[in-house]
A and B are shown apart, each in its own frame.
Chain A
Amino acid sequence: MIDLSSQVRPESGKTAALRSRRKKLTFDKVSFMVVFLGLPLAVYAIFVISPFVQAAYYSMTDWSGFSANMNFIGVENYVKLFHNATFMKALGNNIILVIVLPIVTIILSLILATLVTVGGSSRGQIKGLKNSSFYRVVSFFPYVIPAIIIGIMWTQIYDPSNGLVNGILTGMGFDGFKSFPWLGDERTAMIATMFVIVWGFIGFYMVLFVAAIKGIPAELFEAARIDGAGRVRTMVSITIPLIRDNIQTAYVYMGILALDAFVYMQVMNSGGGPNNSTLVMSQQLFSTAFTKNQFGYSSAMGVVLAAVTLAFSGLVFLVNRLTGGKDERR
């Protein structure tokens, strides 16, 4: 690709370019294309597309991962996969995550974002609560901590014997919580884990929404207030419709995170939790590949995970459109 640049003759390049700007490839144009189009495209093709393609191929083989030999077995892995109760359980858990996590996180962070931007005193200028910049910084703290640390920290907090949660609960007189295994009981493990993920991401999405709300002209809020709209009404009728695209993006990002969720799950319940109640697909994929040496089979899991992720984002866009997200076309 770089060789193309040798066609350019420096002494005549300028005039030639002026004469036939549209036809000739100037050094400028070519270098621009190479740097801004060719390079990213090559990187994308090599590091994104090609692994995808390879994984799809391996998913149809019985590759063990440690030799160059493999047999093509067609869709056998997929058939096996959909009869694998553990994987289906993991898929189910991912679906629970993808439904609950984005909704809870987005609702909570939206409420907080409204409070610190437009939820303040109803007199004078539109503003957030008192000391809102302080809350904004504080609520961003969890996002600064790496996921793995969050997981380790909360595992300690949930510890049945010495954990903070049970300490507080038994201290308040709830003796039933003595040695209660929050992460080890089928009824609570998933909820406790989801709480941690929400806790970790609220701050980030709050900041995202704060930025979006700040982009709305203050006159709109003032007008609504003059018309007598309360805070809830303002949020539902003014804020949400105007930052709809941000919410959609947040929903997709959070959903993709929920479909992965590997780090949190692996740290808090590396074995998949009680009765596999917190097992997710990516964990199952990892252990199938690296402890069971079934790379072909685990590639099939990866392909399913990718398909589910794409289907999810497609669904979010579709729902957004059906519910009128595209009506704003002006």
Chain B
Amino acid sequence: MNIQKKTLQRRGFLRGVLAAAVLVPVAGSLASCAGGGGGAPAASTAAGPVSDTNPFGMADNSTIDAVIFKGGYGIDYVEFAGKLLEKNHAGTTAKIAPSTAIAQELQSRFVGGNPPDLIDNSGEGAMGFSAILDQLEDLTSVLDAKNLEGTVIKDTLYAGVEAPGTFGGKLAAVNYALTIYALWYSASLFQDNGWTVPKTWDEALALGAKAKAKDKYLFVWGKEAATYYQTLALGSAIKEGGDEVRLAVDNLKDKCWSHPAIQSVFSAMEKAVKAGYFKPGGSGTKFTAAQAQWSNDEAALLYPSGSWIENEMKDQTKPGFKMTGAPEFTVTSASKMPYEAMHSAAGEPYIVPSKGKNVAGGKELLRTMLSKDAATNFAKTKLAPSIVKGTVPADGFGSTALVSQTKLLDAAGSNIFTWGFVDLYGMNKDQLVLWNTFLDGKSDAAALTSGLQKITDDVRNDSSVTKIEVK
């Protein structure tokens, strides 16, 4: 019958496709069209005169092409800066486009040699820096330039904000939004129960027992955000053991996870898990639902997170919650860094690709964003500080979390640290699995340590991954 014959042809065809898929790489050079094109750099727009109001020599009447990650912060704060720029440089157009998947959208433009002039390389689909580092401008010139008010930009920023954007001595990204990593709690709930915020892991375990008496838990976690506890553990361990801990994990050192400071934190966490201070079921709970159990149901007392948490949970926070941040615990009171030291990293990395058509324009837009007006607008509309100092008034625009952030940063002074290896080498996904199992009580500190060490070792031993040394 016809149909039978057709199946045979189909099979033959499938076989042919399979054969083609296997054989063709021999003639591979023919196939390299997606990767092969775009060798010549795009002609940069002719430079304009360099002056204090135009420090990068942006050409007159040029167009700036910016692609901004549209996440929690939206893109309107960049549009605000764009309008400001268009006002300062009549005839210039700032084209600001949103994107929710930066890597997928811009990959082909990087390969083709026509990337945008300014990119907010953020979000789940951000491009890994190790892959694009050699195609980015060094942005030191932007920080050395004067802002719109005439002050050198470098002098207007918080301490340590260059660190997360510096790779092997090159300032490849300027991170715009300032994030602090802290333990968040409800000041009103703590006050009503007469609890104090624990400063060490022992105090935390004691608080866990008190919470249990009230049928509450110390911590809650969600499956996509189990590694928030890794962030907490590393923050604690770095305060306890000092910079050597940070350098060991950041440089993927052999046996770095067995450092005594990290191990003491892990064993404290294991105690908390075994004692049932973590709300069970987290490995099957969506992280926003888990966070709502903390901010809305008050089923858990503390939640370790970045300062975006207030904005993220805005609609699911109990009235009168008074969200406040506290520094991550130390292990002992004799830690190498003071309790007040903060894990703070600027987020939303802005990059300027060297092959962009209007590199000077990209830098100029970034310079405008770092002006007082644009930075204040950001703090006001997003309830989050940018890296520019002094943009948050004493009342924090009515946000307790924003006020506490500013206080914590002031108290920390220059004791600010961060690390980058997790994002740099894309380890989060593999680490999540281990942390979910650990927090679920299905493994122990030893298994967690060896698992994390294996992830680190695999990256270190993979010769195809470019390593970036941290100092």
Quote the shortest CB–CB distance from B69 to chain A (angstroms): 14
Is A183 close to B, CB under 8 A? yes
- Looking across the interface, which residue of chain B has its beta carbon closest to that of A313? B14
- Say how far A62's CB is from chain B's closest CB, in angstroms: 5
Contacting residue for B283 out of A61, A162, A181, A310, CB 8 A: A181
- Cα of A317 to Cα of B15 in the assembled complex, Å: 12
Residue of B nearest to A74 (CB): B25
User: In the complex, which residues of chain B have a beta carbon less than 8 angstroms from the beta carbon of A184?
Assistant: 223, 281-285, 436, 440
Flag whether A170 is at the interface (Cβ < 8 A): no
Q: Is the Cβ of A54 less than 8 Å from the Cβ of B37? A: no
Determine whether the beta carbon of A181 is less than 8 Å from that of B284. Answer: yes
* Interface residue ranges of B107-147 to A (CB < 8 Å): 107, 110-111, 113, 125, 127-128, 130-132, 134-135
| A182 in contact (CB, < 8 A) | yes
In the complex the two chains form, is A275's CB within 8 Å of B437's CB? yes
Give the distance to chain B from A41, nearest Cβ to Cβ, in Å: 13
Binds B, one of A12-20, A23-31, A285-293: A285-293
The one of A57, A67, A155 that contacts B31, using a Cβ cutoff of 8 Å: A57
Which residue of chain A lies nearest to B435 when distances are taken between CB atoms in the complex?
A271
Bound: A205/B210 CA distance, A: 55
Q: Is B150 an interface residue (CB 8 A)?
A: no
Q: Establish whether residues B128 and A271, one from each chain, have CB atoms under 8 Å apart when the complex forms.
A: no
- The one of B32, B132, B280, B464 in contact with A160, judged by C-beta atoms closer than 8 angstroms, is B280
Q: Are B289 and A161 in contact (CB under 8 A)?
A: yes
Q: A49 to chain B: which residues have CB within 8 Å? A: 17, 20
Residues B35 and A68 in contact, CB atoms below 8 Å apart:
yes
Residues of A within 8 A of B130 (CB): 64, 293
- Chain A 37-62, CB within 8 Å of chain B: the 1/0 string? 00000000000011011101111111
Chain B residues numbered 130-181 whose CB sits less than 8 Å from any CB in chain A: 130-132, 134-135
In the complex, the answer to whether A290 meets B284 with C-beta atoms within 8 Å is no
Closest A-chain residue to B34, C-beta based? A54
Interface bits B283-320 vs A (CB < 8 Å: 1, else 0): 11110010001000001000000000000000000000
> Is there contact, CB below 8 Å, between A183 and B437?
no
Contact B433 A275 (CB under 8 A): yes
Contact B429 A68 (CB under 8 A): no
Determine if A303 is an interface residue (Cβ-Cβ < 8 Å). yes
Chain A residue nearest in CB terms to B436: A274
Closest chain A residue to B131, Cβ basis: A293
Instruction: Judge whether A111 is part of the interface by a CB distance below 8 angstroms.
Output: no
User: Which residue of A has the minimal Cβ distance to B286?
Assistant: A155
A290-B104 CB under 8 A given contacts A67-B135, A181-B285, A269-B223? yes
Task: Tell me the smallest distance from the CB of A63 to a CB of chain B, in Å.
Answer: 6
B279 touches A294 (CB 8 A): no
B457 within 8 A of partner (CB): no
Please pick, from A60, A162, A329, the residue contacting B25 in the complex, using a CB distance under 8 A. A60
Q: Is A66 a contact partner of B127 (Cβ separation < 8 A)?
A: yes
A52 near B4: Cβ-Cβ < 8 Å:
no
- Docked complex Cα distance between A303 and B134 (Å): 29
**Knowing that A181-B285, A270-B224 are A-B contacts, what are 19 other residue pairs whose CB atoms are under 8 Å apart, sorted by A's residue number?**
A57-B25, A57-B28, A66-B127, A67-B134, A68-B35, A68-B36, A68-B113, A86-B430, A155-B286, A159-B285, A160-B284, A161-B289, A181-B281, A181-B282, A184-B283, A271-B223, A272-B429, A274-B442, A310-B14
The 5 closest A-B pairs by CB, nearest first: A181-B284, A160-B281, A184-B283, A184-B284, A179-B281
Q: List 25 A-B contacts (CB under 8 A).
A: A50-B31, A52-B20, A57-B25, A65-B107, A67-B132, A68-B38, A70-B32, A86-B430, A155-B286, A161-B279, A181-B281, A181-B440, A184-B283, A184-B436, A189-B284, A270-B224, A271-B223, A271-B224, A271-B429, A274-B440, A275-B437, A291-B429, A292-B425, A294-B464, A314-B14
